[in-house]
Structures are given as C-alpha cells and as structure tokens.
Amino acid sequence: MSDSRTFLRHTLATLAYRGGKSVRGAPPEFATFKADATSRTPAQILAHIRDLLEWALSLVRGNQAWHNSEPLPWDDEIARLHRCLGDFDAYLASSEPLHDPAERLFQGPIADALTHVGQLAMLRRMAGAPMRTENYHRADVAAGRVGVDQTPPGREWD
C-alpha cells in the first residue's frame, strides 16, 4: 500500500475518532440546535459530512457524483456516517486504483469534513453540552478503525 493511501486511511480514522467524539453523548435536542436562523443544524452538518465522504468515494472510483442529502434521524445519521467512513476506508485498503490524487482528496472532501467536525464540537459548547477535551496527539487512532466503537480517551479534562 502506498504512503498516500496509508495516510488517507489514518486521516479517515482520525475523522471517525474526532467525529464520533463530537456527537457521542450529545443530548437528543442537539441534533436540531441552531446557532442562528441561517446556520445548519448538527444533523444537517452530519448529513453534509456524509455527502462529502460519498463524493470522495465516487472520486476514487472514477465516477464523480454529488448528492445533497436530507438528514436522517440522529442515531441513524451517526451510523450512516461511520458506514460511509468504512466504505471509503475499505476502498483505500484495497488494490483498486485511485482515480483522483490523494492530495486533492485530502485538500477537498476530507479537509472539509474535518472542518465540519470542528463545527460540531463548537456547536456542542454553544448548545450547553460541551465535550471534554483531550490530547488528540496521544489518542489511540489507527487506520481501519472507522466505526462507531472507538478506543476511549486516555485522559480527558474540562
């Protein structure tokens, strides 16, 4: 496996870890929280992240396609996010060719998805349900671990 594929897989695992943390334990009303009248809800942001991952997968498969999805119910949206991460990771782990350069995948859909995970973390605090902080440099993130079940943080603080 090439270094770029290995890096992309680790990036997806990072997205799964940080994205999972940004939604895990959020109160049910968080899904529909709005910072203002024109902002997206967390459920809409998750649907957009999923759209980004599906777009990235279509790019690597060589059949670019974009869809604007309506959000699913909150728990279904979280599960779908991790399924999309798993589908993308499985393709990167395969011997199938990448039909789009790894650098462009990172600079476009993956970096955008990471930005939106940061928005979710910020919205958690604004909604009165902040997540606990941790040293992400020490987090147990591993390529291929993109599901809902993630290794618990070693040490968190407020």
- Alpha-carbon gap, residue 107 to 112, rounded angstroms: 8
- Alpha-carbon gap, residue 99 to 101, rounded angstroms: 7
Q: Are 109 and 52 in contact (CB under 8 A)?
A: yes
Q: Are 134 and 3 in contact (CB under 8 A)?
A: no
- Alpha-carbon gap, residue 24 to 87, rounded angstroms: 21
Tokens of 135: 């040293």
Nearest to 86 by CA among 144, 20, 33, 14: 144
- pLDDT number for residue 48: 98
Tell me the pTM. Answer: 0.95
Q: What is the pLDDT of residues 37-50, one digit of tens each?
A: 999 999 999 999 99
Q: Is residue 1 predicted with pLDDT exceeding 80?
A: no
- Alpha-carbon gap, residue 54 to 68, rounded angstroms: 11
Q: What is the pLDDT of residues 74-130, one digit of tens each?
A: 999 999 999 999 999 999 999 999 999 999 999 999 999 999 999 999 999 999 999
Domain ranges across the chain: 3-25+39-148
The stretches of the chain forming alpha helices (DSSP H) are: 3-23, 42-61, 74-93, 102-105, 111-126
